[in-house]
Amino acid sequence: MRKFADMHLACSFRDEGEFRALLERARKMGFHAISIPLDPGLRARELSRLKEIASEVGLDFATRVDLAPENRPELLRALRRLRRRFEFIGVLCQNKEVARVAARDRRVDFLMFPLEPKKRYFDRSEAELASGSNCALEIDLMPIFKLPLEARIRLLAKLRSEVALAGRYGVPVVICSGALEPMMMRRPRELAYLATLLDLGFEDALDALSKTPLAMLERNRAKLDPSFVAPGIRVVRRGRDCP
């Protein structure tokens, strides 16, 4: 049985009641894990409380923050400040400078781009950089279908070329709903069928909603563990426990 994840459920919530309602809706739709962009200023105890509520509902909740920097220094400052506090970091690349820096920085998990095709900077150079840093190209499906028909057609054509480019360079593709409100949420297999419009095979689309994001989450949690030193290296014993 596959375990599905929506790693960019972009619905806002005002209190614990609304947060719980979102989680319950996602669980009933068949998701195992979700992530909602959070305020970077949330404290550790507030993040822990959100995870506690998710556990009560029966979902795995991944903490996430989305950045929209205007330039390289702004992005690097935010990454230094937030990387150890959140399990996922997404970067909205609104110009080529930010796109290039985000693609080569291993602290970035998701490369995000505006809906306008001319402002999407995922080209060959971007894909080559991303292939060496293990970040993923994130594609939010539901906002696409809110666009006027002509704009939607242009964007879908651009996304098809990006998905093909990501495949050639081994860049992971993560499919998310990007739902801005509960009524935009969809079941995992419905999202997978929509993703076939991007020339993804159905099984590949399912992987982009399950294996790929969940593997990224497992990797990031391992890195955030206090025992982590480097890939493949962990602290097993400390101090007096050492022989």
At 229 the pLDDT is 39
How many domains is the chain built from? 1
Residue 241 inside a domain? The answer is no
Which mean pLDDT values do the consecutive 10-residue runs of the chain (243 residues) have? 95 95 97 97 96 97 97 98 97 97 97 96 96 95 95 97 97 97 96 97 98 97 68 55 56
At 1 the pLDDT is 85
Residue 90 inside a domain? The answer is yes
Residue 236 inside a domain? The answer is no
Residue 133 inside a domain? The answer is yes
Q: What is the CATH number of the domain that holds 207?
A: 3.20.20.140
Sheet containing strand 60-67, strands side by side: 4-6, 31-37, 60-67, 88-92, 110-112, 136-140, 173-176
Residue 27 inside a domain? The answer is yes
pTM beyond 0.85, yes or no: yes
At 201 the pLDDT is 96
Residue 233 inside a domain? The answer is no
Print the domain residue range for 72. Answer: 4-224
Residue 110 inside a domain? The answer is yes
At 230 the pLDDT is 44
